[in-house]
Structure 1
């Protein structure tokens, strides 16, 4: 971005136009400050004021000194206007590389947001002791991968013909990971996907380049870490985890700034790791909502990885047991190549339904029940349920009206059998509940959580171990002894040797959620659970039919994603088009939409949905083709800045920025007004 002067800067004493100036990105949430500002570099700071360092600068409009990042050095503009001086150089360490700033700027512009918000996610807070230790230590040496480990990586990658060459050539790839558990040499159990990505990273590191791998959560990270550390030098491994201590995370970030290549694994913000000579960016299970950034400007890790590969080169790998419609769209347009395995592996999926004469209310059909009983002779059986707890949903026993809290209207639930129902919102106990529709005082359990399911199965299989795995009872691994493992979706532990059977319950209830992508999500939940089964073990999907069930049974998730795209295209649903949400006061939203129509006249008459009242503001959705993205986001961003500038002088008693209420979110996943 071209640097500009601003009236916020007061005159600096002793200004010398012949000196070079520092162009600084100010750390501020205000959208009007999302640009570079020129500051004069005092003589005493000239040595330390280098591109990428943290600085402190005066900001007259705020009446204070603020933090910033020195992006670049330049010559002063031909103007008599004096410049303010840098107040201080906070640290001589250049934490902002030119490549990282270019990526942050590109990602922010695509999302109609601020580069500073991206960099706040990418660069951890400074930790003085960790920084001093880093400066005092010798620079890390270039790692050397053993020939045996390089050969191992080549053997693993050979399962996908051409994968090794594609990594070397920096291609963009979509891989369907093998749906079976694997056991490392030390006996650790991991998913085969972790071995595959570890092999890809090992090959990239052996070629003298860096690899960056983003995974959804700590459970995935632990599997990948175990697979990697057995193959690459420990000093080339970097863990980037939001749950690390501040000093540990900052030390890991400083390692990525070194010239020596490394392998970085972590969560969604890891895709921004400023490693040297990037050779690969990989995402595991990009459909997991944990890879969607909730903080502004909300750039999904998948989109950030795409932008990074486009800017910096290297290979890009999307791996998963399922295929998101977002990645399948990229495959369809030729931007990403689908690379199949030489030999297709798939679990033995059985679509279980109630037999003739069997009660439709039976939660576990006799076929699945028999499979579980037979499998328990040899080892553990996984039972996946939709919700944690005992009875997550209660209804009136007489009229089936949902049971609601008489105080706040929240849903009631029971913590255990015979317990007084409590509200999930306010936590109050409903001792004297009565149905507002029929006045009945009797309640009925409308669904079973993990704890109630464990109770029921414990009675059905007396003497069998029952293990609950959910948010309140985290379990990462179970041994190979017989046990019933009742887990909520996404919380399934690994089993040594794999599960001897997998029972997928509550599928029909999961599919009833009002979500555009619920079929995609269910297929991902079920596929990830099925991939934990031992080879040849049965996987029973209970009470579900239709396309999504057939996709699981035939293990054709990519075909399901293609069919979803074909269905959404005529309706202009994401991701066949991009969608931006515009929210704020009625006048501000109407003005932004009017300016957008003028800036992008190609938008069709049905591009805008709404605006409709949303809590205390109004909300509108804008649907636009990918080719119009740059112009749409530029116009929406200009509207946000314009509204922010209008509100920079607040009314008496209000804080600065309080009038800035126009919000824009780009690439929302659903048409939810």
Structure 2
């Protein structure tokens, strides 16, 4: 055994074979600087390279019997990797068959030396704690407060209405609920982590917190901040003062002193799913951290994701319904066979309500997509029209003229439906810009504004105006919208995805929650169970029925799925390891990319750890195996095996 002191480090590398703690001897010159959580530089024996690494722990001696390499240098002596964040990263990576260093790259922002020096020289006074714990309104008196104190996991139904803060700013009632919960926890000198989908939600949450908590206690961490500002906020979070940290999905990994609450708003939003490897969803990371820390967990939303419904049904998360709160007045309409004159595909009942409502305030019109050109479908079977040359969508150009491909520009002349052999086209969905133009002609005395991904609006005033917004880009209106029209519902449901109905119900619910109390919300062209769930505001019941259907089909989240991509030979060898695990079945393989195949592994939650460990071992094996060189050829790279657990892109 090598004598100490010894630093056990995790090398910052995407290579799966390096996803383990390595021992390095700490030289005497660095003995005072090397500590758990600091970032260091260490040599790698292959090629004499130097890599960055995180010191996870120190030991007196090493079990390795050979000669240890020395730590080369200390990047910063500020402990950035907190013990609870390391435990979370390790557990989340193991669940996802990935590398802990990939998660730490998401959790810990890039270092900025000037920001670090300023933080050392002038630490920010965190300000006073709230004098009293505020009551959390809308639920059974004391119910949420008891759950927060006990570290309970709760699924909360959000109050679906806009509310006015003492400052005069209007926000969604959900933001007030999260702010009250965080202030309640902070009054007991404990920290909160509040993760929301995007900056629009962060603006509302920050405004709601300003009414209850000293601003110095609130830390904002998101991608819209400058690098130094984000790093400074992270450094502040590593301190001993209790804080409220708000931000996007990566907030669940933030350091926090005496963590008391982890909260996610709208966990079903795709923005809560991490696209970077190993692709751990914010909800899954929050569940792991809650179990490790004992903090309370709040999953809040206007509608319930099927994943949360499964957790409620197995008893892992407790359902907390609203005792009193607003429920939008949703009206289901029949989609008309042809647009009414000047009505821009709006049914007559909704048209009349919109005309009356705009005299008193803003009216929201939600559409499926941005832009101007209408997408086309077959007039007979409603199959989306595709270009015969490249498969792109067919649309009518903004300047007018015959339909053409949106990708390659090929004319649609001679088009024939591949399903029913029909030859006539019709508009299925019109973009936000064109809808705004049509409504501008129909409402000549009203102001028309557009909010989409290119021109997002955070809020609009209470003056009469028509707001045409794409799904997810709807601004909040002072006092709420006097009417809401949800268009293109039929087209939204045509998207090929397992979660399309769940996504649509969430989009419509979030838009309906922007309506003023009592204002009508018209859902155009959609009926059935999903339309009824929105009209009766019984989204949890719909989620329960959807979950039951997926159980019968063995689809997520009733089971877990992983996608495995590699060469045919390597893929077959990798899947062989899983054959002995009960309850595991493999779908495929099928062609994926050039020379590669993809297989889908389906398994139960009880088998998740074993499946993840097996796939991770195969990934390491694929990355480290060496093949015999072929005479006359340069040695190629070994075949890789890519694993994505709970892949959100699976159909």
Q: Return the TM-score normalized by structure 1.
A: 0.90
Match of 2:100 among 105, 109, 115: 115
Alignment of 1:266-281 (within 5 A): 266-281=247-262
Q: Is the 8 A contact 2:329 2:520 kept in 1?
A: yes
Deviation at 1:668, TM superposition (A): 2.3
Match of 2:221 in 1: 240
Deviation at 1:472, TM superposition (A): 2.1
Deviation at 1:615, TM superposition (A): 2.4
Match of 2:3 in 1: 18
Match of 1:520 in 2: 502
- 1:591 has 2:563 as partner: no
Match of 1:613 among 591, 597, 611: 591
- 1:124 has 2:104 as partner: no
Structure 1 residues 80 and 579, CA, compared in 2 at 3 Å: closer, same or farther? closer
Match of 2:349 in 1: 367
Supply the distance in 2 between the matched residues of 1:648 and 1:18 (Cα, whole angstroms).
37
Match of 2:201 among 194, 217, 220: 220
Alignment of 1:281-292 (within 5 A): 281-292=262-273
Match of 1:626 among 596, 601, 605: 605
Q: Which moved more, 1:99-108 or 1:615-624?
A: 615-624
Supply the distance in 2 between the matched residues of 1:397 and 1:458 (Cα, whole angstroms).
27
> Secondary structure of the residue that 1:382 maps to in structure 2?
strand
Structure 1 residues 667 and 433, CA, compared in 2 at 3 Å: closer, same or farther? closer
Supply the distance in 1 between the matched residues of 2:75 and 2:447 (Cα, whole angstroms).
58
Supply the distance in 2 between the matched residues of 1:306 and 1:29 (Cα, whole angstroms).
25
Supply the distance in 2 between the matched residues of 1:44 and 1:653 (Cα, whole angstroms).
48
Supply the distance in 2 between the matched residues of 1:79 and 1:411 (Cα, whole angstroms).
60
Q: Deviations over 1:442-475 (max 9, x none)?
A: 9864431111211222222222111111112211
Q: Is the 8 A contact 1:183 1:190 kept in 2?
A: yes
Supply the distance in 2 between the matched residues of 1:571 and 1:119 (Cα, whole angstroms).
36
Alignment of 1:62-211 (within 5 A): 62-77=47-62, 80-138=65-123, 140-141=125-126, 143-147=128-132, 150=133, 153-154=134-135, 156=137, 161-211=142-192
> Secondary structure of the residue that 1:466 maps to in structure 2?
strand
Q: Deviations over 1:278-315 (max 9, x none)?
A: 00000000010000000100000000000000001110
Match of 2:365 in 1: 383
Match of 1:643 in 2: 622
Q: Which moved more, 1:607-616 or 1:412-421?
A: 412-421
- 1:507 has 2:489 as partner: yes
Supply the distance in 2 between the matched residues of 1:137 and 1:506 (Cα, whole angstroms).
54
- 1:476 has 2:455 as partner: no
Q: Is the 8 A contact 1:160 1:340 kept in 2?
A: no
Match of 1:13 in 2: none
Supply the distance in 2 between the matched residues of 1:91 and 1:399 (Cα, whole angstroms).
64
Match of 2:40 in 1: 55
Supply the distance in 1 between the matched residues of 2:620 and 2:150 (Cα, whole angstroms).
41
> Secondary structure of the residue that 1:94 maps to in structure 2?
coil
Structure 1 residues 354 and 474, CA, compared in 2 at 3 Å: closer, same or farther? closer
Supply the distance in 2 between the matched residues of 1:340 and 1:437 (Cα, whole angstroms).
51
Structure 1 residues 98 and 400, CA, compared in 2 at 3 Å: closer, same or farther? closer
Q: Is the 8 A contact 1:124 1:250 kept in 2?
A: yes
- 1:488 has 2:473 as partner: no
Q: Deviations over 1:168-208 (max 9, x none)?
A: 11100000100000111111111000011000000111100
> Secondary structure of the residue that 1:590 maps to in structure 2?
helix
Q: Is the 8 A contact 1:401 1:437 kept in 2?
A: no
Match of 1:435 in 2: 414
Supply the distance in 2 between the matched residues of 1:584 and 1:336 (Cα, whole angstroms).
37
Structure 1 residues 46 and 337, CA, compared in 2 at 3 Å: closer, same or farther? same
- 1:305 has 2:290 as partner: no
Match of 1:332 among 313, 316, 330: 313
> Secondary structure of the residue that 1:583 maps to in structure 2?
strand
Deviation at 1:369, TM superposition (A): 0.6
Alignment of 1:24-43 (within 5 A): 24-43=9-28
Match of 1:450 in 2: 432
Structure 1 residues 95 and 107, CA, compared in 2 at 3 Å: closer, same or farther? same
- 1:318 has 2:292 as partner: no
> Secondary structure of the residue that 1:535 maps to in structure 2?
coil
Deviation at 1:399, TM superposition (A): 11
Deviation at 1:412, TM superposition (A): 4.1
Deviation at 1:482, TM superposition (A): 1.1
Q: Is the 8 A contact 2:378 2:424 kept in 1?
A: yes
Deviation at 1:434, TM superposition (A): 3.3
Q: Is the 8 A contact 2:97 2:278 kept in 1?
A: yes
Q: Which moved more, 1:211-220 or 1:448-457?
A: 448-457
Supply the distance in 2 between the matched residues of 1:249 and 1:571 (Cα, whole angstroms).
44
> Secondary structure of the residue that 1:76 maps to in structure 2?
strand
> Secondary structure of the residue that 1:90 maps to in structure 2?
strand
- 1:410 has 2:392 as partner: yes
Supply the distance in 2 between the matched residues of 1:357 and 1:413 (Cα, whole angstroms).
18
Match of 2:512 in 1: 530
Q: Is the 8 A contact 2:93 2:278 kept in 1?
A: yes
> Secondary structure of the residue that 1:364 maps to in structure 2?
coil
Structure 1 residues 318 and 398, CA, compared in 2 at 3 Å: closer, same or farther? closer
Deviation at 1:377, TM superposition (A): 1.3
Supply the distance in 2 between the matched residues of 1:137 and 1:655 (Cα, whole angstroms).
55
Q: Is the 8 A contact 1:401 1:435 kept in 2?
A: no
Structure 1 residues 140 and 420, CA, compared in 2 at 3 Å: closer, same or farther? farther
Deviation at 1:243, TM superposition (A): 1.7
Structure 1 residues 116 and 354, CA, compared in 2 at 3 Å: closer, same or farther? closer
Q: Is the 8 A contact 2:136 2:177 kept in 1?
A: no
Q: Deviations over 1:476-531 (max 9, x none)?
A: 11111111111111011111110000011111111122211111111100000000
> Secondary structure of the residue that 1:23 maps to in structure 2?
strand
CA RMSD of aligned residues (A): 2.8
Deviation at 1:97, TM superposition (A): 1.2
Match of 2:530 among 530, 545, 548: 548
Match of 1:251 in 2: 232
Deviation at 1:354, TM superposition (A): 5.5
Unaligned runs of 5+ residues in structure 1 are 1-15
Supply the distance in 2 between the matched residues of 1:41 and 1:283 (Cα, whole angstroms).
41
> Secondary structure of the residue that 1:20 maps to in structure 2?
strand
Supply the distance in 1 between the matched residues of 2:76 and 2:339 (Cα, whole angstroms).
72
Match of 1:342 among 312, 323, 328: 323
